[in-house]
Structure 1
């Protein structure tokens, strides 16, 4: 009986360790409020940027037509190289003065490790903003309102329960 107890205890302990080692993600409600500008609806890309400044993952694409993705030049280079599947994170573009609320998933292991959330924006026949908003992926910064420098007025994230 003692041997069986040790085997069961060891198995349970091993399972607990393996479950805790899986990457855990948190969902964040992300509100993007646009400036009141004239022109077509903006395409906005939300990307996870690694500590060296390189694209790691596309978190959301606000703009449904693939034909316009090349107007988001820097992200498009990454996208065509990696051929990342983005259909699950694609939604409607956002017009001037409008807002969009999306849920994005972020790997908890990336928090406080030098990663950044980048919001790129482009409007047909107007200027492209590679860093319309950048938010350091830190415990404090993800809860603060971040002001845009292009078509985005501000971004606000809230951790979803």
Structure 2
């Protein structure tokens, strides 16, 4: 094997087995208030330390024409053609709970990343970045209060 090829293979193996390659399930739970309206559309997504979009964790509400009302997520993720691939479900009724699990790299925890949830409901006002939860070990399991739609949101590291 040539020296450059051997070096490339060694680097690839080191990266594959490095701590950056490990991930863990993170379960996000959002308890909605009894806000007195139709089912809410929710977009749960991850941003980096600078507030830039990283990836969509879940979108509750399948009609794409209403996604623009999840304005922070819609604006930040617009260039991500795969943002909805396998991460959509039904809207969430008032007083109900959304619970989703996503795999996140261990390197994202305690590194300035944030889980955000945008919310909107038909004939009611939109609530961009309704909940913002820093992705830290210290915040795991601690409820964060929302604004008009979300009573509380938490994440659990597994």
With the shorter chain as reference, the TM-score category is 0.7 to 0.9
What is the CA–CA distance in structure 2 between the aligned matches of 1:118 and 1:128, rounded to whole Å? 14
CA 1:15–1:49 in 2, change beyond 3 Å: closer, same or farther?
closer
After superposition, residues 8-47 of structure 1 pair within 5 angstroms as 17-21=14-18, 23-47=21-45
Q: Given the superposition, is the C-alpha separation of residues 14 and 125 from structure 1 closer, same or farther in structure 2, using an over 3 Å criterion?
A: closer
Q: Offset at 1:115?
A: 0.9
Partners in 1 of 2:11 and 2:69 — Cα distance? 49
CA distance in 1, matches of 2:96, 2:59: 16
| Corresponding position of 2:6 | none
Report what 2:91 is aligned to.
93
TM-score (ref. length: structure 1): 0.82
Instruction: Tell me what 1:4 maps to.
Output: none
After TM superposition, the structure 1 stretch with the greater mean CA deviation from structure 2, 96-105 or 81-90, is 81-90
Report which stretch shifted further, 27-36 or 142-151: 142-151
User: Normalising to structure 2: TM-score of the pair?
Assistant: 0.84
The aligned residue for residue 108 of structure 1 is 106
Structure 1 Cα separation of the partners of residues 12 and 87 of structure 2:
32
Q: Which string of whole-angstrom CA distances, capped at 9 and with x for unpartnered residues, describes residues 30-49 of structure 1?
A: 22100001111001111111
Gap regions ≥5 residues in structure 2: 1-9
**What corresponds to 1:66 in structure 2?**
64
Higher helix share: 1
Equivalence for 2:123: 125
Q: Hey, which bits of structure 1, 4+ residues long, moved more than 3 A?
A: 13-19
Q: How many correspondences in the alignment? A: 148
SS in structure 1 at match of 2:34: coil
Superposition RMSD in Å: 2.0
Q: Distance in 2 between matches of 1:84 and 1:43?
A: 19
